[in-house]
Amino acid sequence: MKTRAAVAFEAKKPLEIVELDLEGPKQGEVLVEIMATGICHTDAYTLDGLDSEGLFPSVLGHEGAGIVREVGAGVTYVKPGDHVIPLYTPECRQCKSCLSGKTNLCTAIRATQGKGLMPDGTSRLSYKGQPIFHYMGCSTFSNFTVLPEIAVAKIRTDAPFKTACYCGCGVTTGVGAVVNTAKVEPGANVVVFGLGGIGLNVIQGARLVGADKIIGVDLNNDKKEWGEKFGMTHFVNPKEIDGDIVAHLVELTGGGADYTFDCTGNTMVMRQALEACHRGWGVSVVIGVAEAGKEISTRPFQLVTGRVWKGSAFGGARGRTDTPKIVDWYMDGKIQIDPMITHTLTLEEINKGFDLMHEGKSIRSVVVY
């Protein structure tokens, strides 16, 4: 079949809207009509050539929601008509990682996913006879996409696609990092670095679990009002304080934060986030994705004296099990999504979404097909 898609033909070039050929679902795969997709900073990072796994030409996009239109042989989990969210963190429930109960990082198809291919080692997408790579196993910047059955989460049918798609990455990543990875407890002091599409969800996650101080740090003063909408109690712009940001935050939290979250992808900020933690028990969670070649460092003494450095991918959420629950939390009013969708675009306008993100003018742009 044919599908309209925004293709990343080369790094650092705008996406081009073209008609692609899409092969139907093979054994264990499903064809999904993507109804809406968010644009996450990770898409921009890959398009900008900063991802060590970045492949071109490819169809980016990993924050979608849609409807199953066809299933391949052997598929039992979903049927045509089901509403689903594509999962860049699938959940096979059979691999060593899934069975461990210790991680959400299913390893069943990670190797081929990282090579831009389906589990059988081929692509379903092509343009003028040449294969186009899949991206993060999702490729939601295509109106139709093929996914392994283990890489879709079945969600309730009354959730609007335009907002539910955000649960495919940003909402689940931010809220999940608080609830699943850090396990923030009521009364804790929390510092969130970077108040974008992820950081604001960390903030609302911290509010949800009853954190005390929720301190937001951003270089963009416009983010103060945004943070406050979702539960932030204090805002700090590192450019506008006297002296060192770490010392400032340690003072503000009465000795250091119980939990800090990096939502910037900047390795210097990751260090500040660790060092702003309380001696003896503070936990810093790295969510931001750093560009290829970057490394983090700190004095080992920071760890010797009890600070803990952790990472979180997709908020520690088990794809098929937890994503539908996040959608339920939204539909039940426990978390908010609607105000964070600042821009609704057509596929033809998708490059504008990237511009708005780089200009700091959007929280989430969503393409509605």
Return phi, psi of residue 191, to 5°: -120, 130
- Residue 185 half-sphere exposure, CB side, CA atoms within 13 Å? 3
* Helix, strand, or coil (residue 8): strand
Which of Zn ion, ligand NAD, ligand AHE, none does residue 225 bind to, with CB < 5 to 8 Å depending on kind?
none
- Answer yes or no whether residue 190 interacts with ligand NAD by CB under 6 A: no
d(CA 17, CA 20) in angstroms, rounded, equals 9
Question: Whose structure tokens read 């907002």?
Answer: 163
Residue of 4, 95, 233, 298 marked active site? 95
Build a one-symbol-per-residue string for 310-349: x at contacts with ligand AHE by CB under 6 A, - elsewhere.
---xx-----------------------------------
Between 265 and 282, name the residue whose CB sits nearer to ligand NAD: 265
A 10 A CB-CB count for 306 gives 13
d(CA 117, CA 126) in angstroms, rounded, equals 12
Residue 263: active-site member: no
Residue 318, C-beta contacts closer than 8 angstroms, at least 6 positions apart: 91, 98, 104
- Answer yes or no whether residue 42 interacts with Zn ion by CB under 5 A: yes
Residue 42: active-site member: yes
Residue 98: active-site member: yes
A 10 A CB-CB count for 53 gives 12
Selected binder of ligand AHE within 20, 30, 34, 40 (CB under 6 A): 40
- Answer yes or no whether residue 169 interacts with Zn ion by CB under 5 A: yes
Residue 156: active-site member: no
- Are 369 and 36 in contact by the 8 Å Cβ rule? The answer is yes
Residue of 29, 37, 98, 253 marked active site? 98
Return phi, psi of residue 246, to 5°: -65, -45
Residue of 29, 83, 106, 149 marked active site? 106
Minimum distance between the CB of residue 311 and ligand AHE, rounded to whole angstroms? 8
Between 169 and 182, name the residue whose CB sits nearer to ligand AHE: 169
Which residues are at the interface with ligand NAD (CB under 6 A)?
A: 40-42, 45, 169, 173, 193-199, 217-220, 223, 263-266, 269, 287-289, 312-314, 357, 360
